[in-house]
Amino acid sequence: MNREVTCELCPRQCVIPEGGAGDCRIRVNLDGKLRATTYGRPSSVHIDPVEKKPLYHFLPASLAFSIGTAGCNLHCLNCQNWQLSQRDGSEMERIYPLDPPELVAAARRNECRSLAYTYSDPVVFYEYTHDSAAAAHEAGLRNLLITAGYINERPLRALCRVLDASNTDLKAFDDGFYRRVTTATLRPVLDSLVTLREEGVWLEVTNLVIPTLNDDLAMIRAMAKWIRDALGPDTPLHFSRFYPMYRMRNLPPTPADTLDRARQEALDAGLHYVYVGNVPGHPGANTYCPRDGTLLIARTGFVVTGYYLTPEGRCPKCNDPIPGVWQ
């Protein structure tokens, strides 16, 4: 009897023989049924400021109870969490048994306002993410999906029903880069971004700028224009500084002036909120009113050092509403 199963979660559409695992390492065929071996078994558990995700327009200065399991459906050469993402559950030294109710209880006990599914990619521990998010909503908590967005439309739309916000990593606006550096493809990620916007999930986008690989200003300009047209000009875009990691230690950290030029390109393309990350003290980490330039939120690293929005989320000078989830 042929007991292969096809995983329909992501665009890889892995056909998994009995006893085998998909490309992500943790979705396995057990007796002809697909199972995620890391369900309820995160290997990374932390309490993070929401700014670390990064989410700058969603409950500023609040805490997010953050979890990640082993496994990922991408294989980025520069992965900063490769010890987690590029392993299966059996290879992890630490596992924290937390089923969805226990996870929610821990978040409430630690006065967190949200649960964040992060570190590797919650796409591969989809069922655990979905069930935990549903339980979190019942308890009055919000749910944050920190993802590379490499997921099929149908499961993503189902997950969106229990999501509140996402930071999605758009690694480059070039399919060749995706194939060479991540072993994935670009189009499904763009489709996921559009789906998140259509489903009403608060959406922010991160682009890690890697010297010589995706720092071409023409590419960055095209990406910013696509975000403006497909997702809206109020979509926050974060340009993050690259540091040598994993299998990409031959490149230098991103020069700060490269990030400044990328930010200016995105602003010139019509995006209203463009940030610079991983450069402590950079003014590009602050939120400014796009109409009159008023400083609205000041940040140093992941710490909010000044908050000047009105309680209704408006600029105190011109009274324009600032898009986001502020309370």
CATH number at residue 235: 3.20.20.70
Measure Cα distances from 196 to 200, 271, 292, 295 in Å. Answer: 6, 18, 29, 29
The arithmetic mean of pLDDT across residues 110-134, rounded, is 97
The arithmetic mean of pLDDT across residues 146-162, rounded, is 98
3-state secondary structure of 206: strand
Query: Is 12 domain-assigned?
Result: no
pLDDT one-digit tens code per residue, 21-60: 999 999 999 989 999 999 999 999 999 999 999 999 999 9
Query: Is 13 domain-assigned?
Result: no
The arithmetic mean of pLDDT across residues 255-283, rounded, is 97
Which residue range is the domain that position 75 belongs to? Answer: 39-307
131/137 Cα distance (integer angstroms): 10
Query: Is 321 domain-assigned?
Result: no
Phi-psi region at 61: left, alpha or beta (left = phi > 0; alpha = psi -120 to 50) = left
Provide DSSP, 275-311.
EEESSTT-GGGSEE-TTT--EEEEEETTEEEEE---T
pLDDT band, very low/low/confident/very high, at 90 (cuts 50, 70, 90): confident
253/251 Cα distance (integer angstroms): 7
Using CB atoms within 10 Å of the CB of residue 218, give its burial: 0 to 12 exposed, 13 to 18 middle, 19+ buried. exposed
Query: Is 27 domain-assigned?
Result: no
pLDDT of residue 84: 93
pLDDT of 264 over the 90 cut: yes
pLDDT of residue 88: 86
φ, ψ for residue 149, nearest 5 deg? 75, 20
Query: Is 20 domain-assigned?
Result: no
pLDDT of 91 over the 90 cut: no
pLDDT of residue 93: 75
pLDDT of residue 152: 98
pLDDT one-digit tens code per residue, 219-256: 999 999 999 999 999 999 999 999 999 999 999 999 99
Beta pairing class for 202-209 and 165-169: parallel
Query: Is 319 domain-assigned?
Result: no
pLDDT one-digit tens code per residue, 157-211: 999 999 999 999 999 999 999 999 999 999 999 999 999 999 999 999 999 999 9
pLDDT of residue 1: 58
pLDDT of residue 70: 95
pLDDT of residue 127: 98
Q: Where are the alpha helices (DSSP H) in the chain?
A: 82-85, 100-109, 126-138, 153-160, 175-177, 187-198, 217-230, 256-268
Q: Please give the tally of structural domains in the chain.
A: 1
Query: Is 314 domain-assigned?
Result: no
Q: What is the pTM of this model?
A: 0.97
3-state secondary structure of 134: helix
pLDDT one-digit tens code per residue, 54-85: 999 999 999 999 999 999 999 999 999 999 99
Q: Letter for the amino acid at 36?
A: A
pLDDT one-digit tens code per residue, 117-128: 999 999 999 999
pLDDT of residue 229: 98
Which of 154, 158, 184 is closest to 169 using CA atoms? 184
pLDDT band, very low/low/confident/very high, at 141 (cuts 50, 70, 90): very high
Query: Is 9 domain-assigned?
Result: no
